[in-house]
Chain A
Amino acid sequence: MHIGEPVRMLTVEPVVDPVPRGDYPERFAEVAPRVPRPTPRSGVGRTPQQEIPAPLTT
């Protein structure tokens, strides 16, 4: 197969592996568990909390 002249070199790293795992299609791929996000240091970038009015009581 003649595909012509080279144009550019690419580096391709798929996020999802194109090769089906041993359990596909009976069982699908799994998404990796979420990594807990770091919390900001105290006092840095914190937005003031909005006061929620207390419910009216009779």
Chain B
Amino acid sequence: MTEAPDLATPIVGWRVWLMGWDEDGPTLVSPVAPFTWLPRVATTAGCRAGCPQAPTWDCHCGLYATADLRLVAPMVISAGAILGCAALWGRVVEATDGWRGERGYPLVLFAPTVDGDDRGRRDPSLALARIRSSRLPGSRPVGLPGAATTEALGRRYAVPAHPLPAVPRLAVWESDVAGCAVAVREEAARGLGARRLGDRDADARFARTVDAMLAALQGR
């Protein structure tokens, strides 16, 4: 007997990735368990503790996302991580502040960028360097991508990707941005089907929520 689904639209939450690089261009890499989310392929969770099908109730396995942007903002501010909304589906453990999913795919990306070239981006050790530097007091992000890399990332994953030229302080995330983030997350989920089927109005609605969030992030 098959189990009736609880939801027919994916769960959408905020999470972060580090930028990796392979022979075809930039990739998204999970920051904790360093594996690559492949372009145009659903990522399936695995479990290092040996759960037969991740996620399980009493383990920590699964693909993570949170409803509250403020939980992931410190990683963007200090480590230059790529922020984004991810769709989660399959088996999903709902927790008090987020979800752990079986399968996932990004829906929109925001990459802290620097102006100029992308020197250093192809060095995979930069991802680790960013994590390590984020743990040091007073450290600054290293190896941020340029706008061209962000655009390539969006093209490769076929999702909107936006550069964040100036990453705001945590206080900004907690005030103005939080409300916009709720709208982006909700529209990312609600309009997904229509956008995939070519509904221009759904595209425009999603773009408006993203623009409002970008404006809030840049203090406009």
Report A's interface with B, CB cutoff 8 A.
1-22, 24-25, 28-31
A1-B66 in contact (CB<8A) = yes
A18-B42 in contact (CB<8A) = yes
Report B's interface with A, CB cutoff 8 A.
3-11, 15, 32, 40-42, 57-58, 64, 66, 71-72, 87-101, 105, 107, 157-159, 192-193, 196-198
B40-A7 in contact (CB<8A) = no
B100-A12 in contact (CB<8A) = no
DSSP class of A's interface residues: helix, strand, loop or mixed? loop
A1-B64, A20-B158, A24-B196 as given contacts; A12 in contact with B40, CB under 8 Å: no
Give the nearest-CB partner of B88 in chain A: A12
DSSP class of B's interface residues: helix, strand, loop or mixed? mixed
- Chain B residues with Cβ under 8 A from A3's Cβ? 64, 66, 71, 95-100
Measured CA separation A49–B32 after assembly (Å): 68
- Chain B residues with Cβ under 8 A from A8's Cβ? 93-94
B197-A18 in contact (CB<8A) = no
A10-B97 in contact (CB<8A) = no
Measured CA separation A55–B7 after assembly (Å): 54
Measured CA separation A31–B199 after assembly (Å): 12
Measured CA separation A8–B95 after assembly (Å): 7
List 4 additional A-B contacts (Cβ < 8 Å) besides A2-B97, A25-B158: A3-B66, A4-B95, A11-B5, A14-B10
